[in-house]
Structure 1
Amino acid sequence: MADRQAMERMWEAHTAAEFETRDVDATMRTMTDDPTVLHVPTGMGGTGYEGVRDFYRRWFVGRNAADMSIESLSRTVGDDRIVDEMMITFTHDIEIPWILPAVAPTGRRVRVPVIGIVGFEGTAVASERIYWDQAAVLAQVGLLDGDVVRGLPIIVSPDGLLDGTVAPNGLAQPR
């Protein structure tokens, strides 16, 4: 049986190194010798120790907006993985390659739910698969035209849906 509390502590240390201290080496110390990282919506990430380290160094750690915040919405801890639901909020005031690769800063605010599925070997992070709604991100920074978005099943802002103040299925209504 895995030590779930130790896994959670390691994941907390991992994310603190990524977002608070912005320390690639400290991030890598939380991982196995052969980790994988994949940000599914953009295809960014790395495989193997050097590939993941290179991804963190060049494209992720220290490459986030100064006002980026991460709010934990829910967490499920199993024997060998953590599933984390988070809300990420930031101002797109710098290029952020992992979520908006090759997109110049727009100055717009982004708020998007993110799901992380984190695999462990013992208490070391072995894999990360990160998911978010890329269409919502593109709409929030103005890369998807408002008329286009209104005609598609895209929820631009998660506010209201997650706290229950807006009813789901609004996009299922006849037009």
Structure 2
Amino acid sequence: MTNDLRARRLALLKEHFASEVAQEFDRTIATFADSPRYEIMPTGQVHDGEDQVIAYHRAQRTAFPDQRHENVRFHVADDDSIIAEFDLLGTNKGEFAGGAPTGKAFRVPTIAVFFFDGERLVNERVYLDSASMLRQIGRMDLLG
């Protein structure tokens, strides 16, 4: 990978993260090469295509309107991927998984693996400790 391609990919990821926090999902979609795809590994959910990805983001921001990332660190792989390590934070202020908001906040360490085609994203694969998040927001009922 050239230094120029590396720099363009990192700039794109910074735009991707900023657009998610700003809840400007058209900007988020624009960071993808063609059809956006998110894979949420702890739940097995796959959001494929613009409509599904936007619906996913809207549901997340309904439940956690202040969802954001802190302490973002990027690890550039030699292939077509970049790993982002960060703290994911938010406060449950809206309906989540069919339950009323608890008003409680969460902070969980998260890893997202971003896959590229050239300088554009093709997939985001997210790994996080969802059990810890559910405990923090007071939704132990979802753990089964």
Quote the Cα distance in structure 2 between the aligned partners of 1:143 and 1:110.
11
The structure carrying a bigger helix percent of its residues is 2
Q: Whose radius of gyration is greater, 1 or 2?
A: 1
The partner residue of 2:138 within 137, 142, 149 is: 142
CA displacement at 1:73 relative to structure 2: 4.4
CA displacement at 1:85 relative to structure 2: 0.8
* 2:3 paired with 1:7: no
Structure 2 counterpart of 1:54: 51
Alpha-carbon distance change, 18 to 67 in structure 1, aligned in 2, over 3 angstroms:
closer
Q: CA-to-partner distance for each residue in 1:29-83, whole Å, 9 max, x for gaps? A: 1101144211112233322xxx2x1123222147423433311243201241110
Quote the Cα distance in structure 1 between the aligned partners of 2:60 and 2:129.
20
Structure 2 counterpart of 1:93: 93
Quote the Cα distance in structure 1 between the aligned partners of 2:129 and 2:67.
17
TM-score by length of 2: 0.82
- Partner AA of 2:104 in structure 1: R
Structure 2 counterpart of 1:109: 105
* 2:122 paired with 1:126: yes
Alpha-carbon distance change, 41 to 109 in structure 1, aligned in 2, over 3 angstroms:
same
RMSD: 2.2
CA displacement at 1:121 relative to structure 2: 0.6
Percentage of matched positions with identical amino acids: 31
Residue pairs, 1:152-167, within 5 angstroms: none
Indicate if the aligned counterparts of 1:23 and 1:61 stay in contact, CA closer than 8 A: no
Q: How many residues align?
A: 137
TM-score by length of 1: 0.69
Structure 1 counterpart of 2:46: 45
Indicate if the aligned counterparts of 2:29 and 2:36 stay in contact, CA closer than 8 A: no
Q: Give unmatched runs, 5+ long, in structure 2.
A: none
Q: Give unmatched runs, 5+ long, in structure 1.
A: 149-175
